[in-house]
Structure 1
Amino acid sequence: MTKVPRKSSQPLLRNTDAPLRSRPRRPLDLDQPQLQFDPMPDRIEPCLAVLKPKVPIGPDWLYEIKWDGYRLAVHVEPSSVRIITPGGHDWTDRFPSIAEEAASIGTTAILDGEAVVLDEQGRSDFGALQQALGGRSGERHASKAVFFAFDLLYFDGHDVSWMDLSDRRHMLEGLLKDRAGGIRLSEEFEGDGQALFDAACEHGLEGVIAKRRDAPYRSGRLGDWVKVKCIQSDSFFIVGYEPSTAALGGIGRLLLAAYRGDELVYVGGVGTGFKERATIKLPADLDSLKTVTPPINLKRKGVVWVQPTLIAEIEYRAWTDDGKLRHASYKGLREKQDNAAVFQIASG
């Protein structure tokens, strides 16, 4: 029989009737004689979640809220802190509050997690994170960003990535207990994963991540982690735009493309979701990439074509029968350093 979980104490899930339970924390035992000393790796390829339509259910799974931000690894050493993107770029200077908090941890560690900016309801806001970073130029520092850590790969001189997730989480909870500043613990839940997913969607959150509790940390997309989204969100190339004298910034609609094999194909456009600050800067970014040759096989009058360089994060409800995005909304620009992957349409 499935356990009936109690309600989470997390602010972002407060006031929900959905039954949820967080696993109680045990005291952290720092004495680990069975572990041997290991040099800290310069970088670890991240474990990636496989997108599924339904939440996996059962005692083998643990659950977390899916955050909508930038995936990062925080490397903490006695005399330095490095914040690394999935693509291996050093973004330490872009997240000063996270780096400052990491320096106070007091031991060597590699934390895996997501940098986000929270709205007034405690939800992660990708657009707000983009604005905090100053867009793709990287001229500003995201001092308001918070790092939600959900895994521990290296601790106190030891590689712990080979351990079960439940054991890594036990150590992570002890390490980050009561921290509420630039680095916080991403809460874990067990029990009814569907109830957590329903609560997440009810509160306008991105979705949930399900993880096998007995799995080691394995790089790549191998199925140990599963993501289920309340609303679909993926990355697409901007290949052109339709000018508008009535729209803010002069952009009426962005034209989007995805990969089918090595070919770029048109997947529709987006004309909603633009924030004022981002919309004012976007035309200048696009105009610097103008081209007379359409990057996709599409004939349309009045379009300003651009080189497929800028990657937009797009939220949408579904796909139409002819392969176009339905009810698309613009969320912001992804960064190449974030290892943003343009959506790949399955062949056949």
Structure 2
Amino acid sequence: MTKPPKPKPLLQDADKPVRSRPRKPRDPTQPNLPLDPMPARIEPCLALLKSKPPKGDDWVYEIKWDGYRLSVHIEPRGIRILTRGGHDWTHRFPAIKLAAMWLPVGSAILDGEAVVLDEQGRSDFGRLQQSLGGRGGKKRSSDAIFMAFDLLYFDGHDLRNSELDMRRHLLEDLVPAGGEGDIRLSEEIEADGDQLLASACEHGLEGIIAKRRSAPYTSGRLGDWVKIKCVQSDSFVIVGYERSTVALAGIGRLLLAARKGKKLVYVGGVGTGFNERNASELREKLDGLVTSTPAAAVNRKGAIFVKPKLIAEIEYRAWTDDGKLRHASYKGLREVQDNATVYDLE
């Protein structure tokens, strides 16, 4: 007759705690690292506009991407994709969401830009807008990819107080350089700033970004990140338009304004850059905003004024002596959720 198995002591004595045996003693010199709570949202670090690249070994450079600033939150409950203004756009970027699910990390917050690339690999804001169905559209973009350029939270640790070099080192392990997926690394470029800017302009890029290696991640526009543009591109309020019998959708010219304190100041107009699709969408929105009260002082005969609800991204070459835009071209409407900054006349 076989004996019954001997009960395990832990099951026999309810007063003894149930613990597994450690494989080896913990090294007392190894600290117990506390876990940081994951932020629900982080205000982005913004780049300060400068005319020339900063000099010195403490500065590194990247290409300036022309798209929508996003943060990708990888959380235990799932993925969240937030706009610069804090709006949840997870449903609008399904390919980026799926790519984030496959990243080898338990929890993270990636900072970057959603872009659509043209045939030469350049970011195209107009194509991104079209892929999302235009301003106020509800389409999901399967063409947009996420160019990651910073890592703010990583597996339980808030990295914002760490230097950029350390954050980038961890990011490059997570999103390797040279990838072709829907989340890609915005690579740092070791080069002279002036030469890199010249090369970027020669290849038709919008410009470059310079970042201070030793700086922590600080929300706002404080100067640790600097943008230098080949072609000026800024956001302006649409305050009216002029009709045309020959132009697309009858829009001969948009009338634009910039901010000066709490007021809007007329800075000229734009009559190029429209295509059949964005012109018809724009005309429909403008017709719904017509008003008899101009939001800015505009002395244009026959102008049709609209409420200052629409913000347009405008590319231009320079300013005239009387404060008007020169060689302006329409690129598209900014989304309200993008929290775009209207050009400020100092």
* Residues matched between the structures, number: 315
Deviation at 1:301, TM superposition (A): 1.8
Residue in 2 that maps onto 1:10: none
Please identify the structure whose Cα radius of gyration is greater: 2
Contact 2:236 2:257 in 1 (8 A): yes
| One-letter amino acid of the counterpart of residue 242, structure 1 | E
Residue in 1 that maps onto 2:278: 278
2:75 pairs, out of 68, 73, 77, with 77
Residue in 2 that maps onto 1:288: 288
SS of alignment partner, residue 149 of structure 2: strand
The separation in 2 between residues aligned to 1:81 and 1:118, in whole angstroms, is: 24
SS of alignment partner, residue 344 of structure 1: coil
The separation in 1 between residues aligned to 2:271 and 2:300, in whole angstroms, is: 16
| One-letter amino acid of the counterpart of residue 242, structure 2 | E
Distance 1:265 1:121, change over 3 A: same
* 5+ residue gaps, structure 2: 1-29
| One-letter amino acid of the counterpart of residue 233, structure 1 | S
SS of alignment partner, residue 278 of structure 1: helix
The separation in 1 between residues aligned to 2:31 and 2:130, in whole angstroms, is: 46
SS of alignment partner, residue 257 of structure 1: strand
| One-letter amino acid of the counterpart of residue 183, structure 1 | I
Residue in 2 that maps onto 1:57: 55
Greater RCO between the two (CA within 8 Å, min separation 6)? 1
Contact 1:264 1:295 in 2 (8 A): yes
TM-score normalised by structure 1 residue count: 0.88
Q: What RMSD in Å do the two structures reach over aligned CA positions?
A: 1.3
SS of alignment partner, residue 135 of structure 1: coil
Superposition pairs for residues 20-59 of structure 1, below 5 Å? 35-59=33-57
Deviation at 1:35, TM superposition (A): 4.6
Structure 1 segments of 4+ aligned residues over 3 angstroms from their partners = 32-35
Residue in 2 that maps onto 1:138: 137
The separation in 2 between residues aligned to 1:33 and 1:216, in whole angstroms, is: 23
| One-letter amino acid of the counterpart of residue 180, structure 2 | A
The separation in 1 between residues aligned to 2:229 and 2:266, in whole angstroms, is: 23
User: Is structure 2 residue 262 aligned with structure 1 residue 262?
Assistant: yes
SS of alignment partner, residue 95 of structure 2: helix
The separation in 2 between residues aligned to 1:80 and 1:160, in whole angstroms, is: 21
Deviations 1:3-32 (A, max 9, x none): xxxxxxxxxxxxxxxxxxxxxxxxxxxxx9
Contact 1:313 1:334 in 2 (8 A): yes
Residue in 2 that maps onto 1:91: 89
Residue in 1 that maps onto 2:127: 128
Superposition pairs for residues 152-167 of structure 1, below 5 Å? 152-167=151-166
Distance 1:34 1:208, change over 3 A: farther
Residue in 2 that maps onto 1:9: none
TM-score normalised by structure 2 residue count: 0.89
Deviation at 1:159, TM superposition (A): 0.8
SS of alignment partner, residue 137 of structure 1: coil
* 5+ residue gaps, structure 1: 1-31
Contact 1:64 1:208 in 2 (8 A): yes
Contact 2:66 2:123 in 1 (8 A): yes
Deviation at 1:33, TM superposition (A): 6.1
Residue in 2 that maps onto 1:222: 222
Contact 1:118 1:124 in 2 (8 A): yes
SS of alignment partner, residue 189 of structure 1: coil
Deviations 1:247-285 (A, max 9, x none): 111101000001111111100000001122111211100
The separation in 2 between residues aligned to 1:40 and 1:54, in whole angstroms, is: 37
Deviations 1:155-190 (A, max 9, x none): 111111111101110110010115421100001012
SS of alignment partner, residue 80 of structure 2: strand
Deviation at 1:58, TM superposition (A): 1.4
